Chain A
């Protein structure tokens, strides 16, 4: 085992973490807006976002990433950098899934809760902010963290299309010169686990904590 290779893998891990965090932030913001649009009383908005979700969920992430990377060039614009293209594709991808997950969580807060707040004269935004979101948050935690773990692993697809130097990409490069796939892909797998496992544990802790506040 060569220490330079381990450093390369750690650099790859950093790349994975950066891409994941960017995806959580942008995908989370866009996904939240999608969830709100999905439950909008205006039919054009809710149906429109429905179509957006259908298209993105029906497309393999690999293809989406290819479109984001090569697409701008085809139309004569400057190409995006690998990180930009990967972030863009993963943001669209995760916004569709998170939007749908969170829509379900918002709607699973019973309708009478909306009505009770409405009858007290509480406006739509305040109703969302003070009555619905706090209840939806608790329901949303486990599936959201589950999806975050998937995103971390799915960043590896960036290695296949856009050539962004994340963990899988660096493991592949090292393997090409060492022919020790078991060793280096094994270490990469452990690194993925080291990032994802604490997230899952944290999710359970958070769930319990929110439950206490909700007694």
Chain B
């Protein structure tokens, strides 16, 4: 199987500060990959590069067939293939739940209002919020808002979903409902890359775990590496994470 995500020696600096110092890994179609690591290890930057919110400065990156180091990349095509969900939800506050989800299909895919509505109702039901279609974001809990954000991405039928610490702003009860939606997506065969602090979730759902440290992949493998890490740094990271 050919990888849907392929990073080779990816480098990225902000000014003099080198954040990614040669990152390489692959993710196959249908896999769930969890990127873990301390804050500042570059994991969120790596994820943002995959949707070209940041441009890479060295190495190569191929996402769903798009070459990201290519200056003439078709960004619209890339973003039709890749969905991303952020820690801070970023729903559009002036639109209802249904309108939030319908906006991109209507503007980007130019589907009719009725068609967009049908798609929206389906994906919103999927994240368990069909009774909130006409609510505004600020009337929802954080967990509900995050589920709407996931639905909003799903409405574009992406081939790859990126999750950037999507539960970090939520308290534990709300975290569970968001993870449940993500787990369901994983079982349906969605290719997913998540930057996460939820070790339990990574252990349970991830096919591949990538431990980043100081701008590099320090250790990577199946989720078994979370039980039997081969480097002392990962072992220490896991024991620190489980204390919290």
Chain A residues close to B by CB (< 8 Å): 112-113, 115-123, 126, 130-131, 134-135, 138, 213-215
Contact = CB atoms under 8 A, between A and B. Distances in A.
Interface in B132-148: 136, 138-139
29 contacts: A112-B90, A115-B53, A115-B86, A116-B90, A116-B91, A116-B92, A117-B104, A119-B51, A119-B79, A119-B82, A119-B83, A120-B103, A120-B104, A120-B152, A121-B76, A121-B79, A121-B104, A122-B103, A122-B104, A123-B76, A126-B107, A130-B103, A131-B92, A131-B103, A135-B94, A138-B94, A213-B94, A214-B94, A215-B138
A121 B108 contact: yes
Given A115-B53, A130-B103, A121 B94 contact: no
B178 interface: no
B55 interface: no
B93 interface: yes
Contacts of B91: 116
B127 interface: no
Interchain residue pairs A-B with the least CB separation, the first 5: A116-B90, A120-B104, A121-B79, A121-B108, A112-B90
A136 to B, nearest CB: 10
Nearest to B153: A120
Contact of A119 (B84, B92, B107): B84
Contacts of B82: 119
Interface residues of B toward A: which range? 20 to 34
A112 B136 CA distance: 18
A122 B108 contact: yes
Contacts of A120: 79, 83, 103-104, 108, 152-153, 156
B48 to A, nearest CB: 9
A131 B153 CA distance: 16
B90 A115 contact: yes
B139 A123 contact: no
A112 B88 CA distance: 8
A204 to B, nearest CB: 20
B80 interface: yes
A130 B104 CA distance: 10
B79 to A, nearest CB: 4
B139 A113 contact: no
Contacts of A121: 75-76, 79-80, 104, 108, 156
Contacts of B153: 120
Contacts of A215: 136, 138-139
Nearest to A116: B90
Nearest to B162: A119
A115 to B, nearest CB: 6
A129 to B, nearest CB: 9
B53 A119 contact: yes
Interface string B34-58: 0000000000000000010100000
